[in-house]
Chains A and B, each alone.
Chain A
Amino acid sequence: MSPRFEAWSTLLAFMRKELRHLVRDRQTFVILLCLPLAQLLLFGYAVRTDVNEIRIAIAASAADPAATSLRAQFANSDRFILLPSIPNAAAAERLFRSQQTDVVVVLGPRTDSRTVGVTPPSLLIITDASDPNTSTTMANYAQAVVRDWQALRSDVSGRVAIDVRARMRYNPTLRSVNLFVPGLIALILTLVTSLMTALSLSREKERGTMELLLVSPLRPWQIIVGKVIPYLGLALVNVVSVLLAARFVFLVPFAGSYWLLMGASVLFALVSLALGVLIAALTSSQLAATLAALGGTLLPSTMLSGLIFPIASMPEPLQWVTTIVPARWFVEIIRGVMLQGTGVDVVWRDLLILSVMLVVLLVAAIRRTSVRLA
C-alpha cells in the first residue's frame, strides 16, 4: 500500500466515523438540516425594515381644497391607511396617545394654490418616534408622498418646482428582504459550521477519545480535514435549501452567477469551519467552546458584518475591526452577486481575503493540534 493511498484510506475511515456521529444523533441531525430553512422562513418575514400599513391622519380645516387633494394622494399610496381627517394638531395628540395613528400630517392654513410661492407652505409631518427607526422610515415615506403631491400641484399652478427624484438601484422597491436574506445565509452558515465543529472536537477532548486519536498515526491535518468535510457537506445542503427558499419563497432576485455564489459559500463555510476547529483547539471544554463559538463568530457575524448595521456608519476603529470578521466579506460578495449581478472581476478581492483567512486559520488550527496535548 503506497503511503499516499494509506493517508487517504486512514482519512476516509476517520471521516466515515465523523459522518456516523452526525447521522447517529438523529435529533441534532434533523435540527441541523431543518433549522437553517426554518430560520430563514421565520426571520425573512420578521426581520425587515420596510414599513407597511402606516396609519395616517390629515389635520386640516375641512374647507381646504389642498387637504382634499393631499388626502387623495395618500389614499393612492398603498403603504398608507388613511384615517378620517381631524380638525387640528391638538386632535393629533389624542390620536397618538390612544395609538390610533402612526403619522399625522398637519396642513397649515396657507397651502392652497393661491398662496403657493407667496408664503412658504407650511406642512408638518408628525410621527411617533418612540421607535426611532420605524418613525424615520414612515416620515420618509410621508415626505415622498407630499413631494409627489407638491409636484403635481405646481404643474397645475403652472409654476416650475424643482423635481427631486431618487432612484434606488438594484433594490428598486426597497424590499429589505433582498438585503437580509443574503445576510441570513451568512449567519446560518456560521452557526452550522463554527459551532458544530467546535463542539464535536471539544467533545472528543472532553471524553478522552482525542487522546486515542493523537496516540494513533493520524496526523493533525487528517483529524482536522476529517472533522471539516462532513460538516462542509451539511453546510452545502443548507446553502442550497436556503438559496432555494430565498429565490422561490421570498422572490429575491438572482442577478449573478449561481456558481460564483456556491463557490463563495463553500469558501466562507470552510473559513467558519476552520475557525470552529481553532476554537476547539484553544478551549478545553464543550461549554467554553460553545461560548467562544457564539461570542467569537455568531455575534460578530451579526453585528459587524454590515448585515444589520451599515459598516460605513460605525466609528472608524470599529470599521477596522470588521475587516477581520469573515462574514463581512461574505455578505459583501453575496449581496453583490445576488442583487447586482457582480462577477469575479469585482468580488475577487473579497474572495482573496477569505482565502487568506482560511489559510491562516487552518495553519493555526493544525499547529495547535500538533502540539498534541501538551
Chain B
Amino acid sequence: MTMPPETSVVGDHPSTLAIRAQALSRVFGAFTAVDAISFDVGQGEVFGFLGANGAGKTTAIRMLTGLLAPSSGAATVAGFDIRHDAARVRERIGYMSQRFSLYDDLTVHENIRLYGGIYGLTDEQIASREKDLLSRLAFTSSASLRVGALPLGWKQKLAFSVALLHSPSIVFLDEPTGGVDPVTRRQFWELIYQAAADGTTVFVTTHYLDEAEYCDRVSIMVDGHISALGTPASLKAEFAADDLDEVFVRLARGATKS
C-alpha cells in the first residue's frame, strides 16, 4: 500500500514532501524534550536542523527514524506514518549517527556487504554499488583494510556513503562532521550535495553554522520548540544579522534549558 505523496501548499520549497511533522512531542517524565514541533521537508531538500545541546534535536531525529516513540503528535517520513508504518519508513531511510557506527573490526568491503545485506540488496546490486562507492571516494585500494585503521575523516565519508547504499529517499545525519578537519568537512558537504542532486532528501544536524549556510532551509530549535525556520538568507534578513551564527546566538540566548 503506497500512499500518494502529499503535496505542500507552502510556496517556496519543493512540492513533494519527504517529512511532515505535526505537533510532534516527546515527554520524558516531567521534562518535555520536544514540544509540539511542526515542519515540512521537501523531497531532495538539504534541511539543516540546528539547535544548542539539549534543545531537543536528537530526540526529534530519534522519533523521525523510529528509534523513539512520540508521546503525542504525528509525523510521516517518506510518505509513511512513523507510528504505524515504521517498517516501511525504515526501508526508505538512511541514518548516520553522531557516534561513528560502522564496525571497526570489519573491513571496508565487509561493512558494505553487511549493510547491503541488511537492506535486502542482491549480491549483484551490492557488488556494483560497492564499486561505485569506492571509486567515488577514491577508496578502491582500501577495500580490504579494517575500518578501524582508517583516519576519522575517511570513516565519516564511508559511513555516509554506506548510509546511502540502499538508495534511501531520505538520509538523516546526526552531527556527521563532528571532530573532522575543515578540508574533510568540505569534501563531506560535496558528498551531501551530490546526494541531494540525485534526489535524496538530506536531514542534517550540525553545530557548525558555516555548514548551515550550505542548507536549502534551516530550522533552529530552542527549548523543544522550533524558533526559526527558513532559508539562510530569509533568517538573516528576519533577524537583521550578518550570518547564521548571530541568528543562532540571539535565539539560543533566550533559552532556559541550556
Contacts and interface: CB of A to CB of B under 8 A. Distances in A.
| Physical interaction between A and B | yes
B120 A10 contact: yes
Contact of B68 (A6, A25, A209, A373): A373
B90 interface: yes
Contact of A373 (B62, B100, B103, B106): B62
Given A13-B116, A372-B67, A216 B90 contact: yes
B118 A16 contact: no
A325 B18 CA distance: 51
Contact of A24 (B97, B101, B105): B105
Contacts of A12: 117
B94 to A, nearest CB: 8
Contacts, number: 83
Given A24-B106, A207-B101, A215-B93, A374 B69 contact: yes
A214 B115 CA distance: 12
Given A207-B101, A212-B97, A212-B101, A374 B68 contact: yes
Interface in B77-106: 87, 90-91, 93, 95, 97, 99-106
B65 interface: yes
A312 interface: no
Given A211-B67, A215-B65, A14 B114 contact: yes
A212 B101 CA distance: 7
Interface string A196-212: 00000000000111011
Nearest to A18: B114
Contacts of A219: 87
A208 B97 contact: yes
Given A372-B66, A372-B68, A215 B114 contact: no
Given A212-B95, A372-B66, A218 B118 contact: yes
A40 B65 CA distance: 48
A17 B69 CA distance: 29
B142 to A, nearest CB: 17
Interface in B32-85: 62, 65-69
Nearest to B86: A372
A215 B118 contact: no
Of residues A12, A20, A207, A216, which shows the largest number of chain B Cβ atoms within 10 Å of its Cβ?
Answer: A216
Contacts of A374: 68-69
A16 B103 CA distance: 13
Contacts of A13: 113-114, 116-118
B159 to A, nearest CB: 9
A9 interface: yes
A92 to B, nearest CB: 65
The SS class assigned to the A binding surface is helix
A349 interface: no
A21 interface: yes
B67 A20 contact: no
From A208, A215, A218, residue with most partner B Cβ within 10 Å: A215
Interface string A16-38: 11001100110000000000000
A1 interface: yes
A73 to B, nearest CB: 66
B141 interface: no
A52 B173 CA distance: 70
Contacts of A25: 105
Nearest to B110: A20
Given A372-B66, A372-B67, A374-B69, A14 B103 contact: no
A217 B90 contact: yes
B103 A209 contact: yes
Nearest to A24: B105
A1 B120 contact: yes
Contacts of B239: none
B120 A17 contact: no
Contacts of B122: 1
A225 interface: no
B139 interface: no
A225 B64 CA distance: 27
A22 to B, nearest CB: 10
B119 interface: yes
A209 B91 CA distance: 17
Contact of B117 (A1, A10, A21, A373): A10
Nearest to A209: B101
Contacts of A214: 66-67
A213 interface: yes
Closest 6 CB pairs of A and B: A13-B117, A208-B99, A215-B95, A17-B114, A208-B101, A212-B101
Interface of B: 62, 65-69, 87, 90-91, 93, 95, 97, 99-106, 110, 113-120, 122
16 contacts: A10-B117, A13-B116, A13-B118, A20-B105, A20-B110, A21-B105, A24-B106, A208-B99, A209-B101, A209-B103, A211-B67, A215-B67, A215-B90, A215-B93, A216-B119, A373-B67
Given A13-B114, A14-B114, A215-B67, 5 more contacts: A10-B117, A20-B106, A208-B99, A211-B67, A374-B68
